[in-house]
Structure 1
Amino acid sequence: MQRLNEGGRQQAEAAVAEAVRRKLQAAVETEHTYRHILAFTAFMAAYLTALGLSDQDLPSVCLAGGATSARFGSSGEVLDYIEGRLVAPHWRDPVCGDGACEAPIEFAAFGRFGCKADCGVEPNTTRLLVKVRSNFGGHPLLAPRLLMAAARWNVCLMDAARRQRGDPDLCWFERDQVFTEAAATRLETMDVIDGSWYVAVQGDYAGRVQGAVYSMQDPDNPKQLTLQAGRCQP
């Protein structure tokens, strides 16, 4: 019984320690977020003030900080100062090639994506074969050329984290692919990372485009993958 009590006490202490760790982590993240909000608020206040002054005569504006001060002759110089001293140090975009892999904006390279110089090459990829078949002929009202001109397609990765940041999904082709023939089948191979890839078709109002995706891990025996709700599940 004593051993059981001792084990229960240790489990309780571990649970309490874990709860405290989570609260501390949440507090640190909250403080970090508040600091960014306060800095952004200060920037916006200064920015709007400068915009308000832009329609007035501005012979001299002085921004003092501690023992230093800066004097400006126009609102444009004020904005340049704010950008250099406040915006650039805190909202600097990652630069590929500076030696630091800054996730999540930078990541290991695959296809045309990622930063090879800072993050290296993604070792875990799957080769896919995408087959897009189209036949725009035979519509009772609309000409094939009209239907074909409206349709576009691409292969994209559904990424919840990117969408939360307001970034668009990664798509294999930089520009959506067009159709140049009324009836044709196009084959494309690509080495992609694991995830929910989907064939995005736009403008196919008559339902004249069909797609299929195959795994090429075994080139001699391609395996067709299931498409569900526009997603490709490897």
Structure 2
Amino acid sequence: MANVRVIDLNSDLGESFGPWSMGEDAAMLDLVSSANVACGFHAGDPAGILRTVRAAKERGIAIGAHLGYRDLVGFGRRNIDPTSEELIGDVIYQIGALKGLAAAAGTKVTYVKPHGALYNTIAADRRQAADVINAIRAVDPDLILVALSGSPIVAQARNAGLTVVAEAFADRAYTPSGALVSRREPGAVLHDPELVAERMLRLVTEGTVEAIDGSMTRIDVQTICVHGDSPGAVSMARRLRERLKEAGVGVASFVQAKA
């Protein structure tokens, strides 16, 4: 048994842009313990980001920089191969922008979670991973990095001196090796709140999740992501939180655990 009694729930927020609305930030902030706030490169505009940061602060929710490739058109989900100089600069820029907005709201950024294609690329690409790690260390070496559980970047970042939190995804299917099933494949994204809640409860309490082929795979997890832009995301997060409470599992940010 994994015997985890407290788990972090996180969601990607602050992704609306001008009149274009994405997700239900206020409702999600009542359910999660950590908010991955967009930094303007894959989504989000300054006014909307500040609004989300202020709402998170009011609720005592941990705030993280949800940074990505410079790709507004593709929502940060297109593969890009920037030079090290470009990627380091982009990461520093995004963290700095969110730090400024957080300071204006009377709070602070405590962790970094890369978004979309950048998140998936650095999971195994050592060069881009090193660029992101070096950029974080240059800005604030105390920032925690959220990374895909079981991926090479977890050890790479820890060896570089960063605190790393391993992440699982509530609404995504897994391969038998513990990797995420590609969004291009059938069944990659889950939508049933009850199914998602039961899967994540098993992961938290037993350390295993059912893979797409029906086998059980072991995954280390300190935080669970419920995507804010998924259909029914609020219902999913609400049922997951209810199911955890029923099983005696608390919800609290990993930032509090570190402190």
Which structure dedicates a bigger proportion of its chain to strand? Answer: 1
Which TM-score tier does this pair reach, normalised by the shorter chain?
A: under 0.3
Higher RCO structure, 1 or 2 (CA under 8 Å, sep 6+): 2
TM-score normalized by the length of structure 2: 0.20
TM-score normalized by the length of structure 1: 0.22
